[in-house]
Structure 1
Amino acid sequence: MVRVQLSGTKETMLATLWGRALDSRSPRPVLGDTAADEAIGRLDYDFGKLMKPSMALSVALRAKSIDTMARDALAARPGATVLHLGCGLDTRVFRLDPSPETRWFDVDFPEIVELRHQLWPELDERPGYRVIASSVTDRAWLDEVPAEQPVVVIAEGLTMYLREAEVRELFGRITERFPGGEFVFDLFSRLGIKAQKINSVVRKSGSTLYWGLDDSRELSDYGLELVEERMAAQFASEEDLGRVGTVPRLQLKALRWFPAVNRMGRIVRCRF
């Protein structure tokens, strides 16, 4: 067993890992992330500490929506390099399974990278794959990524933990370095930031959320052009709705009647 001792923002990744694992155990999983379930079995950690099992569906739906939009972005940018920022213990490289010709960079703190090495040592031998041990806000790590190809930047559960100046600098460094590309990431509204303590994962981990936007078109101020936006009620496809129980299905549909709540957490795809 691998003992885990993390706190604050770094600890939140364990909740989303657990959510994906619980979904994979469902008779009709939404995401079907079996690699997450296998990882859970190897970690010495109280996974019920931060999140109730009932939240697993929202975790799986968010991850699946980001996967779908990332696939679309990669299809639109053949040969693009992938920057998976704040990757945590996400197994997205397994789920998207890019070709060996695709250069994929997972980026996160050194202690997170060490955990990834222990859980998935086979990734060290995966063609095109590399992990960079660094905070995404550190300026130096980007120098390790070849700059001649366009990029697809993927970030799940990251931007809301950064301050506005950090988001602006990070996005600016990427858009200045590469000859075009796309971003796929989730973000909160300002109401979502104000209501952050309602989120048990944020509250119980002792984390703090900082950055949010009410109108995704404001991303033009960060050098990005909005291509697609999904509100929370759109995370689930009709096929997904058929996989879940009656109560969560009704809850998801009801979100459309509460615009402020529906916009609190959303996913965007942008280009530059």
Structure 2
Amino acid sequence: MQTETVALTREKETLLITLWAKAGESRLPDSLLKDRFAAEAAARIDYDFARLKVDRDLMVGLAMRAHTLDGWTRDFLGRHDDAIVLHLGCGLDSRISRIDPPAGVDWYDIDYPDVIALRQKLYSARENCHLIGSSVTEPGWIADLPQDRPAMIVAEGLLPYLPEEEVPLLLERLVRHCPAGEIIFDAYSAFGLRMIALQPSIKATGATLHWALDDPAELERQVPGLTLMTELTAYDPDGYDPEQIARMSWPARLAIQFFSLIPPLARIGLLLRYRF
């Protein structure tokens, strides 16, 4: 089996955290995500994944996050089988393979050119899947997207790494270009951002986080046309299966219970779904 050497650093290197976590979770006997595509891709990468210090709790947590975003995407495509999907900062995520969208859907994976080049080596081409090599904050790539079809916009593990002023600008460009749709992503409060920066996996990459969101309603004010549909706090029992949380270590479960009792702590991490 041919392996691929990677030379990613800082923010780009964080894509290896999510890849390795999803690959590792897929090997667990009680896997939620069952992401064999991630496992196969990770096996072909020549990289010391041990330096990222991805433990079982992180594997389970990232699998739960991805599973929720996948579910929202499937729900949208179930109502719009002629949609486009914009997978922003796709990294090496295998979302298109996990979801396997209907034939009428056009899917766009967008990331830096070197990341897209690596994707092409690790994943087979798919019909109606378009690869765009660009920083998501560069406005030029948006102009070539269809303007007459509903859009599902997915940004997992991306927006907190963008410059603070770029996030509303990016979302505004997308809302202006696409006639209607939904935007789904993860976000952190200012306090949550500081906590995430202390995670061993993030520290190993040297990545810097910039964009925080303390109040999801703030985006509605910053980006005309956005309307908040769903707000899930970290490990919200209304959005997450308690059996999944039970898969974590007892210190992690204890921390989740403690945080859930204090609203500012419960809201340090959010999964958000907006329509436009």
* TM, length-normalised to structure 1: 0.92
Matching of residue 69 in structure 1 with residue 44 in structure 2: no
Specify the alignment match of 1:27 in structure 2: 29
CA contact (8 A) 1:81 1:152 kept: yes
Tell me the secondary structure at the aligned position of residue 233 of structure 1.
Answer: coil
Specify the alignment match of 1:39 in structure 2: 41
| Aligned residue type for 1:211 | W
Matching of residue 95 in structure 1 with residue 118 in structure 2: no
| Aligned residue type for 1:130 | H
Q: Cα distance, 1:169 vs. partner?
A: 1.2
**Given the alignment, which residue of 269, 272, 275 partners 1:271?**
275
Specify the alignment match of 1:155 in structure 2: 155
The CA deviation string for residues 95-137 of structure 1, in whole angstroms up to 9 with x for no partner, is 11101210000000011101111101x2x2x221111111101
Note the residue ranges of structure 1 that are not aligned, 5 or more in a row. Answer: none
Matching of residue 107 in structure 1 with residue 110 in structure 2: yes
What is the 5 A alignment of 1:164-243? Answer: 164-221=164-221, 222-223=223-224, 224-234=226-236, 236-241=240-245
Specify the alignment match of 1:15 in structure 2: 17
CA contact (8 A) 2:60 2:244 kept: no
Q: Cα distance, 1:241 vs. partner?
A: 4.2
CA contact (8 A) 1:137 1:170 kept: yes
CA distance in 2, matches of 1:147, 1:214: 32
| Aligned residue type for 1:266 | L
Matching of residue 84 in structure 1 with residue 71 in structure 2: no
Report how many aligned residue pairs link the two structures: 268
Q: Cα distance, 1:193 vs. partner?
A: 2.3
| Aligned residue type for 2:197 | K
CA distance in 1, matches of 2:265, 2:54: 20
| Percent identity over paired residues | 38
CA distance in 2, matches of 1:165, 1:101: 35
Matching of residue 3 in structure 1 with residue 1 in structure 2: no
Q: 1:261 to 1:76 in 2, by over 3 A?
A: farther
Q: 1:269 to 1:76 in 2, by over 3 A?
A: farther
Q: Cα distance, 1:27 vs. partner?
A: 0.9
| Aligned residue type for 1:167 | V
Q: Cα distance, 1:251 vs. partner?
A: 4.6
CA distance in 2, matches of 1:268, 1:70: 12
CA distance in 1, matches of 2:103, 2:6: 31
CA contact (8 A) 1:108 1:133 kept: yes
Specify the alignment match of 1:51 in structure 2: 53
Q: 1:214 to 1:86 in 2, by over 3 A?
A: same
| Aligned residue type for 1:199 | Q
Note the residue ranges of structure 2 that are not aligned, 5 or more in a row. Answer: none
Out of 217-226 and 148-157, give the one that drifted further: 217-226
| Aligned residue type for 1:62 | R
Q: Cα distance, 1:265 vs. partner?
A: 1.5
The CA deviation string for residues 130-171 of structure 1, in whole angstroms up to 9 with x for no partner, is 111111011111122111112110000111011222111111
CA distance in 2, matches of 1:246, 1:111: 36
| Aligned residue type for 2:138 | D
CA contact (8 A) 2:60 2:248 kept: no
Tell me the secondary structure at the aligned position of residue 268 of structure 1.
Answer: strand
CA distance in 2, matches of 1:22, 1:236: 20
The CA deviation string for residues 42-81 of structure 1, in whole angstroms up to 9 with x for no partner, is 1000112123323211111111111112222333444221
CA distance in 1, matches of 2:49, 2:80: 38
The CA deviation string for residues 187-234 of structure 1, in whole angstroms up to 9 with x for no partner, is 111112233431223222111111111111212122311000111122
Out of 251-260 and 34-43, give the one that drifted further: 251-260
